[in-house]
Amino acid sequence: MNDEYPLTPQQISNYQRDGYIQLNDVFTGEDLAAFRDAVEAGVKEDTKNLDPNRVKGSYEQIFIQCVNLWHRYPKVKPFVLSPKLGRIAARLMGNSVRIWHDHALFKEPHTGAKTPWHQDTPYWPHQQKMHQLTIWVALRDATIQNGCMSFIPGTHRMFDIEPVNLGDPQDLYAVAPQTKGIKPVTCELKAGSVTIHNGMTFHYAGPNRSDGLREAIAIIYMPDGTTYSGTGHQTTDPLKLSVGQRLDQPIFPLVAN
Ligand SMILES: O=C(O)CCC(=O)C(=O)O
């Protein structure tokens, strides 16, 4: 789990050009099994009191989302804070990186709705928005049938687009007409492989039409030195930060230089 992933200069420049990249076999064998078991156990515990027959709102139909599992589950923590993932993030970003947060994203069989096209960084209370990135780890195979990720290359350079409301999305071309004509790329992943996207890159995942859960955990990194913008977010609201304050509190640990 702590070995160095052999990221090549070509992969780094492809990521910087396209705003996303796929890396295969980042976790394999016992490490993959331990990571998956730990996240599955955390999601099970977090959701144990939910009524399976409840009426789900439109956001909840997209996926079961459990934020910051690493805070609550000691077996998840070494994976989320792993130097291996941190080094990948730091090399792609070209900066020291802090954890912004993690979230397990489990799309339920048959009922899991699509994840609409969106950019991430506009949702976050950060004053700098260019370099945040997400490592999205497939804990089981992610396929077109069960809702793997797609990306629109180059859209990480498109700023000033209104954030998409995931629960009530508008058509992509209404929100971002400048994406017309750019062909999306869909990335099927074997379990243990990852996609990595810049927080400004438009991405999407289809509905889960399979019989099993689509199980992924997304770990989000921000450059060391990122400062607070003052807008609301569940991770920063309890901290009572001032606008302009650095996000360097213990819940945002530095994981790689
Ligand atoms: O897992 C999904 O369906 C979407 C994930 C996503 O939007 C993200 O990781 O930023």
Mean pLDDT on 14-43: 98
Dump pLDDT digits (tens) for 206-228. 999 999 999 999 999 999 999 99
- The domains located in the chain, with CATH, are 9-47+57-256 (2.60.120.620)
The pair of three-digit structure tokens given for residue 251, joined into one six-digit string:
């819940």
- Any ligand 1 atom below 6 A from CB of 164: no
Question: Does residue 125 carry a pLDDT above 80?
Answer: yes
- Any ligand 1 atom below 6 A from CB of 20: no
Question: Sign (positive/negative) of CA torsion 82, 84, 90, 93?
Answer: negative
Mean pLDDT on 66-83: 98
Question: Does residue 111 carry a pLDDT above 80?
Answer: no
For residues 171 and 75, the answer to whether their CB atoms sit within 8 Å is no
- Neighbour-count burial of 54, counting CB atoms closer than 10 A to its CB (0-12 exposed, 13-18 middle, 19+ buried): exposed
Angle at 181 between CA 179 and CA 186, to 5 degrees: 80
Q: Which of 226, 219, 166, 225 is nearest to 196 (CA)?
A: 219
Task: Give the mutation target among 85, 132, 136, 215 for probing the ligand 1 site: most ligand atoms within 8 A of CB.
Answer: 136
Q: Specify the pLDDT at position 127.
A: 98
The pair of three-digit structure tokens given for residue 244, joined into one six-digit string:
């302009």
- Report the distance separating Cα 39 and Cα 133, nearest Å: 20
Q: Specify the pLDDT at position 1.
A: 75
- Any ligand 1 atom below 6 A from CB of 63: yes
Q: What is the reported pTM?
A: 0.97
* CA 61 to centroid of ligand 1, rounded, Å: 13
- Any ligand 1 atom below 6 A from CB of 134: yes
Q: Specify the pLDDT at position 194.
A: 98
Q: Specify the pLDDT at position 229.
A: 98
Question: Mean pLDDT lowest for which of 48-57, 85-94, 218-227?
Answer: 48-57
Question: Does residue 89 carry a pLDDT above 80?
Answer: yes
The residue behind tokens 């397990």 is 104
Dump pLDDT digits (tens) for 182-199. 999 999 999 999 999 999
Q: Specify the pLDDT at position 2.
A: 77
- Report the distance separating Cα 144 and Cα 122, nearest Å: 27
Q: Specify the pLDDT at position 22.
A: 98
